[in-house]
Amino acid sequence: MSNSKPSNNTRNIPHYSDNGQYPDSYYAASRNPKPDRPKLENDIHVEICVVGGGYSGLSTALHLMETDHEVVVLEGAQIGWGASGRNGGQIVNGLNASLEKIKSSYGQQNADFVGQLVTRGGKIIRRLIKDYDISCDLKEKNIFAALNNGQLKDLQKTHALWESHGMHDREMLDKYGMQEHIKSEAYVGGVIDHSGGHFHPLNLALGEAAAIELRGGTIYENTLVVDVEYADDHIKIITEFGTVTCKQAVMCGNAYLNKVIPKLTDRVMPVSTQIIATEPLGDLADKLLPTDVCVEDVRYILDYYRLSADKRMLFGGGTVYGGQDPSDITAKIRPNMNKIFPELRDVKIDYAWSGNFALSFSRVPQMGKLHDRVFFAHGYSGHGVTGSHLFGQILADAINGNTKEFDTFAKIPWIPFPGGRALRVPYSMMGSWWYALKDKTGL
Ligand SMILES: Cc1cc2nc3c(=O)[nH]c(=O)nc-3n(C[C@H](O)[C@H](O)[C@H](O)COP(=O)(O)OP(=O)(O)OC[C@H]3O[C@@H](n4cnc5c(N)ncnc54)[C@H](O)[C@@H]3O)c2cc1C
């Protein structure tokens, strides 16, 4: 092993703020203990290198370890530092793009293919929690909520479509049915999915990382990948202070990968979304969400919320195209929470944080190959808790020679953002204003 010189590309890659410390979130404050993992400072050789310590990378690495590969994971900050350690923790069975949308854009065959896959991600999560005894406050069921009759009608159609794809765990709720789960006057109806659920997202990521190590995998943290060199018989992953020479690599940096792989930069756009956590609510929590379900509404820019294990309301929403953090997260999100639960108007907000997801133009996540030996997956468009786990399994299967599902996903064409990199933010904002207006007026 020899020490390698820093790559010339380092100057183009933004470094992590706060040295890759977790943001000041409820999740970071209540996380399980984790080891301080080393930074890569040597040149090493390994069979497979996975870049990114979020669910996509962790699921890929763990499925590969379970099939006896030699794997190294490189994470620029810490495990779960990105969206996977900051998200709403909601197990939503489905992609952001609806099956109707997939059918109209990509045909019946692709819709059928996705339809028979979308509940698998949630099963993978439950299997990993059970097999590796991951302590992450898992709870059952989620609700899709409609704020007006137009949304409820759409939800009825969607429900019929889900049923036609064999998803029988879901049932329609009217206004009174909703109030058994959510003590709010805001909703006219919804759908409960008995196979949905919620959990502590950072603790799931930390548990998956521990499982990879238990199986003999190696994880380097604070190890920023700055470049990739492609050769016929190997791949070289260049980090700031070392290199990994491997037979195959999987790129799972999602919204945070930035400009490391220019070919991926234009395929997705970083978008930030924010969450606030109230102080613990005691008995009031059980009054507001008596069955402890998690909830998201069906608007384009949606509210999503649930209770934490210590009975805080974790309330999320908002989007900033381009991925910046708003200057005052509480001022932005709190009014949305007060609208749904006026009882929370005066409670203290203990934590407020923001995180980036990767939006694809079609809202269908993407996987593919950059080279014979380099795979990637990203673009879950804000609904990636289950999708990233599913994609990790599909990527591992592909590396193991079972490429059927990988090939089908890889063939779904990706659609560039109108206006390219320069104009995609303003164009997307205009689009979202239109959808927000539709949501508001119930058109
Ligand atoms: C606030 C928020 C709420 C959300 N709520 C939900 C929800 O309730 N349900 C749901 O289904 N989805 C939700 N999502 C989306 C979901 O969290 C993501 O789709 C999913 O976690 C993506 O996982 P990932 O591993 O692909 O990306 P990430 O978790 O972002 O992981 C990527 C990792 O790669 C690392 N990385 C990037 N570049 C480099 C590099 N050059 N070198 C080394 N490492 C690098 C990053 O540091 C990061 O840790 C939410 C997202 C956010 C931000």
- CB–CB of 306/87 below 8 Å? no
Looking from the CA of residue 16, the nearest atom of ligand 1 is 47
Same domain? 285 vs 341: yes
**DSSP type of residue 257:** -
> Distance between CA 88 and CA 382 in Å, rounded?
10
CA-391 nearest atom, ligand 1: 26
Q: What digits encode the pLDDT tens for the residues 233-253?
A: 999 999 999 999 999 999 999
Ligand 1 binding pocket includes 392 (Cβ within 6 Å): no
Strand segments, DSSP code E, in 15-124 are 43-51, 71-74, 90-91
- Res 1: pLDDT: 34
Angle formed by the axes of helices 55-66 and 201-214, nearest 10°: 30
Question: Do 124 and 81 reside in the same domain of the chain?
Answer: yes
CA 277 to CA 392: how far, in whole Å? 30
CB-based contact 94:167 (threshold 8 Å): no
For residue 278, the tally of other CB atoms under 10 A from its CB is 24
Cβ pair 263, 109 in contact under 8 A? no
128 and 85 within one domain: yes
Residue 418 within a domain: no
For a mutational test of ligand 1's pocket, the pick from 11, 62, 357, i.e. the residue with the most ligand atoms closer than 8 A to its C-beta, is 357
Q: Is residue 2 part of a domain?
A: no
Predicted local confidence at residue 424, as pLDDT? 66
- The reply to whether ligand 1 has any atom less than 6 angstroms from the CB of 57 is yes
Instruction: Verify whether ligand 1 is closer than 6 Å to residue 374 (CB atom).
Output: no
Q: Residues 178, 181, 187, 190: what is their CA dihedral angle, to the nearest 10 degrees?
A: -50
Q: Are 71 and 151 in the same domain?
A: no
Q: Which of 32-36, 259-263, 386-390 has the lowest mean pLDDT?
A: 259-263
The string over 104-143, giving b where at least 16 C-beta atoms fall within 10 Å of a residue's C-beta and e elsewhere, is ebbeeebbebbbebbbbbbbbbbebbeeeebebbbbbbbb
Residue 383 falls inside a structural domain? yes
Residues 189 and 88 both lie in one domain: no
Q: Is the CB–ligand 1 distance for residue 49 below 6 Å?
A: no
- The CA 80 to ligand 1 mean position distance, Å, reads 8
Token reading at 15: 């470094």
b vs e for 164-176, b when ≥16 Cβ sit within 10 Å of the residue's Cβ?
ebebeebeebeee
Model confidence pLDDT, tens digit, residues 354-369: 999 999 988 889 999 9
CB of 78 shorter than 6 A to ligand 1: no
For the residues 253-257, what does the mean pLDDT come to?
95
Judge whether 254 lies within some domain.
yes
Q: Are residues 65 and 203 in the same domain?
A: yes
Q: Both 170 and 34 in a single domain?
A: no
- Pocket flag, ligand 1, residue 53 (CB < 6 Å): yes
Q: Is 84 in the pocket of ligand 1 (CB under 6 A)?
A: yes
Q: Is the CB of 237 under 6 A from ligand 1?
A: no
Cα 443 to averaged position of ligand 1 atoms, centre (Å): 33
Within 334-394, strands assigned E span 349-360, 366-371, 374-378
Centroid of ligand 1 to alpha carbon of 388 (angstroms): 9
254 and 398 belong to one structural domain: yes
Which run of H or of E encompasses 131? Answer: helix 120-131
Please give the backbone phi and psi of residue 437, each rounded to the nearest 5 degrees, phi first: -65, -45
For 92-242, list the strands marked E by DSSP: 139-146, 170-174, 189-198, 218-220, 225-230, 235-239
Task: For residues 365 and 307, state if they share a domain.
Answer: no
In this predicted structure, the answer to whether residue 10 has a pLDDT above a threshold of 60 is no
Q: Indicate which CATH number applies to the domain containing 26.
A: 3.50.50.60
Decide if 102 contacts 409 (C-beta within 8 A). no
Q: Looking at this protein, which amino acid is placed at residue 73? A: V
Residues 230 and 281 in one domain: no
Handedness of CA 315, 317, 320, 322 (dihedral sign): positive
Q: Give the separation between CA 42 and CA 409, rounded to whole angstroms.
A: 36
Least confident of 11-15, 277-281, 308-312: 11-15
DSSP of 388-415: HHHHHHHHHHHHTT--HHHHHHHHSPP-
Q: Predicted confidence band at 8 (pLDDT cuts at 50, 70, 90)?
A: low
Banded pLDDT at 434 (limits 50, 70, 90): low
Least confident of 18-22, 86-90, 433-437: 433-437
- What atom of ligand 1 comes closest to residue 74's alpha carbon? 43
Beta bridge partners of 321: 271
Is 426 part of any domain?
Answer: no
Number of domains in the chain: 2
> What is the distance in A from the centroid of ligand 1 to the CA of 309?
22
Structural domain boundaries, residue 272: 139-197+268-360+434-442
Residue 168 lies in a domain: yes
Instruction: Read off the CATH number of the domain in which 350 is found.
Output: 3.30.9.10
First to last CA, the chain: 64
Q: Is residue 117 part of a domain?
A: yes
- Strand runs labelled E in 136-288: 139-146, 170-174, 189-198, 218-220, 225-230, 235-239, 243-251, 268-278
Interval between CA 150 and ligand 1 midpoint (Å): 32
How many secondary structure helices (H) and strands (E) does the chain include? 14, 17
Torsion (CA) 196, 199, 202, 206 in degrees, nearest 10: -90
* Distance (Å, whole) CA 217 – CA 67: 12
pLDDT of 429 reads: 65
pLDDT of residue 441: 56
CB-ligand 1 contact for 134 (6 Å cutoff): no
Tokens of 72: 């190294």
Confidence check: pLDDT of 6 > 50 = no
DSSP string, 76-129: SSSTT-SGGGTS--EE-SS-SS-HHHHHHHH-HHHHHHHHTTTTHHHHHHHHHH
Q: Ligand 1: does its nearest atom lie under 6 Å from the Cβ of 204?
A: no
Cβ of residue 189 lying under 6 Å from some atom of ligand 1: no
pTM score above 0.85 = yes
- Ligand 1 pocket member 366 (CB < 6 A): no
Q: Is the pLDDT of residue 298 over 60?
A: yes
Instruction: Give yes or no for a contact between 53 and 205, defined as CB atoms under 8 angstroms apart.
Output: yes
Protein residue with least CA distance to atom 9, ligand 1: 90
Ligand 1 close to Cβ of residue 270 (< 6 A):
no
Domain check: are 235 and 330 in the same one?
no
Protein residue closest via CA to atom 32 of ligand 1:
253
Least Cα distance to 209 among 392, 370, 352 occurs for 392
Question: What is the residue-averaged pLDDT of the chain?
Answer: 91
Distance (Å) from CA 383 to ligand 1 centroid = 10
Does pLDDT of 266 surpass 90?
no
Does 89 sit in the ligand 1 pocket, CB within 6 Å?
yes
Residue 16's pLDDT is 84
Tell whether 301 and 245 lie within a shared domain: no
